[in-house]
Amino acid sequence: MLRLCLLRPRAILFRAYATSPSPHALLFIEHQGGEVESASLSALTAAGQLGGKVTGLVVGGPGEVEGVVEKARKLKGLSKVLHSTSKLYTPPLPETVSPLLQSLLSQGSPYTHVVSSHSATAKSLIPRVAGKLDIQPVSDVTSVQHDASDNSTTYTRLIYAGNAVATVKAPADMPLKFFTVRATAFTAASPQNEGGEAEVEAIDPITPESSPTTHVSTSLAKSDRPDLGVASRVVSGGRALKNAETFKATLDPLADVLGAAVGASRAAVDAGYADNSLQVGQTGKVVAPELYVALGISGAIQHLAGMKDSKLIVAVNKDADAPIFQVADVGLVGDLFEVVPELVEKLKK
């Protein structure tokens, strides 16, 4: 079994040397509640920048896929939508989805690139598939440029918590190039205005006979607020919020009046003030909203990594020496428990 896996990539390597195909990206499209995830729309934009065709792949359970495919085929830049349905694809676990991807990418595959957003699902799936095909993937890219003349692709990505930018090149002799896309670095693709709908093709699911992994349960933190990753405004709180009650009582009114999503620093999440899914930073979500309001956040390197590309950063902190003031466009040294209610009051008027 293992030996088979080792043999297969070599076959791909050989084939790709013989021809130099124009770029053709396979985009892994994620969806939630019947809608294409916004981060996948950004990944589509990145895939389009390769300068060739883009084929989308939608996988999911019965009843989920059709609606998503209908929406996906109208996306600008997608020439084809493949879809595959299996009850094992809800949720899309790496162990069950990777055989399908491997098969799509193996037998006489037209694809030169595999693209997805840098979401939790893709972070788990893409490296697994790439590894099986003996390819080094590139994660969380902020720019992509394909050189059609020599079939190399150059990316930029952030390293050291966003404190350095690496420019890396996937060389011509890498037959298939895998990368995941930092959604905040690319504008989301939009639906086509008229006509030109993408071709749709159903493909049979390929799932392992018995999966070594079973999905037991999923619990999502429910919120009526905009999704943190794509919100145009974010109000974020840190350790200074004291406890979960004051965190909510202080941030919610401001988030409401601004129409913002709520975020948190690691300190606030660790202390249990906010759910982990709200963490902004190197190891949490990376956001780049129009407005980022940091309340009682000191501005550790790891937090800045997740928000310093925001257009306007507002910081409120008691400590005038807090590093957050080094990146803030508007800083107010003061007690957030006085400042925030006053701000909410005045914004309501």
Partner 1 sequence: MYPSTVRLLNILVPIKRCVDYAVKIRVNPQQTGIDLNVKHSMNPFDEIAVEEAVRIRERMKEKVSSIKVVTIGPPKSAETLRTALAMGADSAIHVELPESAPSPEPLGVAKALQAVIAREKEKGGVDLVIMGKQAIDDDAGQTGQILAGLLDWPQATFASKVDVDEANGVVNVAGEIDGGSQVLKCKLPLVVTTDLRLNEPRYASLPNIMKAKKKPIEKLSPADLRVDLTPRLETLKITEPPKRVGGGKARCVSNVDELIAKLKDAGLVTS
Which amino acids are annotated as binding site for FAD, given as ranges? Answer: 239, 265-266, 279-283, 296-303, 317
* 113 in contact with partner 1 (CB under 8 A): no
* 93 in contact with partner 1 (CB under 8 A): yes
Under 8 Å CB-to-CB from 110, ≥6 apart: which residues? 21, 24
Using CB under 8 A, which residues numbered 213 to 252 contact partner 1?
213-221, 227, 229, 233
Closer residue to partner 1, CB minimum distance, 42 or 119: 119
CB of 7 to partner 1, least distance (A): 13
Cis peptide upstream of residue 253 (ω within 30 degrees of 0):
no
Q: Cα separation of 144 and 157, whole Å?
A: 9
* Of the candidates 95, 131, 137, the residue with the CA atom closest to the CA atom of residue 114: 137
Using CB under 8 A, which residues numbered 26 to 85 contact partner 1?
none
Task: Supply the Cα-derived Rg of the chain in whole angstroms.
Answer: 22
Q: Which stretch binds partner 1 (CB under 8 A): 43-51, 82-90, 153-161, 235-243?
A: 153-161
Q: Which member of 128, 225, 242, 248 binds partner 1 (CB under 8 A)?
A: 128
Using CB under 8 A, which residues numbered 288 to 307 contact partner 1?
290-291, 301-302
* 271 in contact with partner 1 (CB under 8 A): no
Angle at which helices 2-18 and 94-106 cross, to 10°: 40
Q: Which member of 103, 167, 187, 243 binds partner 1 (CB under 8 A)?
A: 167
- In what helix (H) or strand (E) does residue 3 lie, and over which residues does it extend? helix 2-18
Closer residue to partner 1, CB minimum distance, 68 or 135: 135
| Contact present, 29 and 57 (Cβ < 8 Å) | yes
Q: Cα separation of 324 and 71, whole Å?
A: 41
Q: Looking at beta carbons, which pairs linking 192-196 to residues 24 or more positions away fall under 8 Å?
A: 192/74, 192/75, 192/76
* 95 in contact with partner 1 (CB under 8 A): yes
Q: Which member of 12, 189, 268, 339 binds partner 1 (CB under 8 A)?
A: 339
Q: Which stretch binds partner 1 (CB under 8 A): 51-59, 186-194, 206-214, 244-252?
A: 206-214
Closer residue to partner 1, CB minimum distance, 77 or 281: 281
Query: From the CB of residue 137, how many other CB atoms can be counted at a distance below 10 Å?
Result: 19
Closer residue to partner 1, CB minimum distance, 7 or 216: 216
Instruction: Write the burial class of residue 79 (CB in 10 Å: 0-12 exposed, 13-18 middle, 19+ buried).
Output: middle
* Of the candidates 269, 319, 271, 277, the residue with the CA atom closest to the CA atom of residue 299: 319
Closer residue to partner 1, CB minimum distance, 52 or 284: 284
CB of 206 to partner 1, least distance (A): 15
**Annotated binding-site positions:** 239, 265-266, 279-283, 296-303, 317
Using CB under 8 A, which residues numbered 168 to 187 contact partner 1?
168-171, 174
| Contact present, 234 and 262 (Cβ < 8 Å) | yes
Question: How many residues lie near partner 1 (CB under 8 A)?
Answer: 93
Q: Which stretch binds partner 1 (CB under 8 A): 65-73, 77-85, 194-202, 264-272?
A: 264-272
Q: Cα separation of 14 and 129, whole Å?
A: 19
* 103 in contact with partner 1 (CB under 8 A): no
CB of 252 to partner 1, least distance (A): 18
Q: Please spell the DSSP secondary structure of 280-302, one letter per residue.
A: BSTTSB----SEEEEES----HH
Q: Which stretch binds partner 1 (CB under 8 A): 42-50, 93-101, 192-200, 244-252?
A: 93-101
Note the Cα 317 to chain centre separation in Å: 30
Closer residue to partner 1, CB minimum distance, 97 or 198: 97
CB of 176 to partner 1, least distance (A): 12
CB of 68 to partner 1, least distance (A): 17
